[in-house]
């Protein structure tokens, strides 16, 4: 059975308990790495300037403590394998659904199950949906 390394465990600790529960269940079946939970101002604004995020601090879901978003990828990481990210996301979303946790994935912002209609893809990104005002991308 796969298990998280120390970096993944530390990143996950900064996340909302529901994200922790979901990804601790996911790791039982699929080897994955948690890249980031909470993100501070310097990092958030840097990612925005690089075009890797669309929101500046403090408006990102990663900017709250505990974090309402988590960046998690299947391991080993292949940044060019879109299909693998999509397959992984489907598994994560299914696990979350069975646990009663509503998530949105950064590869399907409008949750229409069509992954080629996004203006911005953020395949590692998963965020909680029950946050007030969190119903729009």
For residue 135, is it within any domain? no
CA distances in angstroms from 37 to 12, 19, 98, 118, 131, listed in the order given: 6, 9, 22, 23, 16
CATH code of the domain covering residue 77: 3.30.1380.10
Are 67 and 43 in contact by the 8 Å Cβ rule? The answer is no
Nearest to 2 by CA among 34, 21, 28: 28
Host domain of residue 19:
6-128
**pLDDT tens-place string over residues 22-69:** 999 999 999 999 999 999 999 999 999 999 999 999 999 999 999 999
Q: Is residue 18 part of a domain?
A: yes
Residue range 83-127, pLDDT digits in tens: 999 999 999 999 999 999 999 999 999 999 999 999 999 999 999
In a domain, 1, yes or no: no
> What's the total number of domains in the chain?
1
């Amino acid at each position: 059975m796969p298990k998280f390394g120390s970096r993944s465990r530390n990143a996950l600790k900064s996340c909302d308990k529901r994200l922790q529960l979901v990804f601790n269940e996911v790791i039982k079946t699929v080897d994955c790495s948690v890249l980031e939970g909470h993100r501070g101002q310097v990092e958030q604004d840097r990612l925005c300037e690089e075009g890797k995020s669309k929101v500046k601090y403090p408006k990102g879901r990663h900017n709250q403590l505990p974090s309402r978003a988590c960046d998690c990828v299947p391991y080993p990481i292949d940044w060019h394998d879109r299909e693998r990210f999509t397959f992984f996301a489907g598994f994560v979303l299914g696990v979350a659904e069975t646990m009663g946790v509503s998530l949105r994935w950064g590869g399907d912002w409008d949750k229409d199950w069509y992954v080629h209609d996004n203006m911005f893809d953020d395949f590692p990104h998963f965020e909680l949906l029950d946050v007030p005002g969190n119903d729009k991308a």
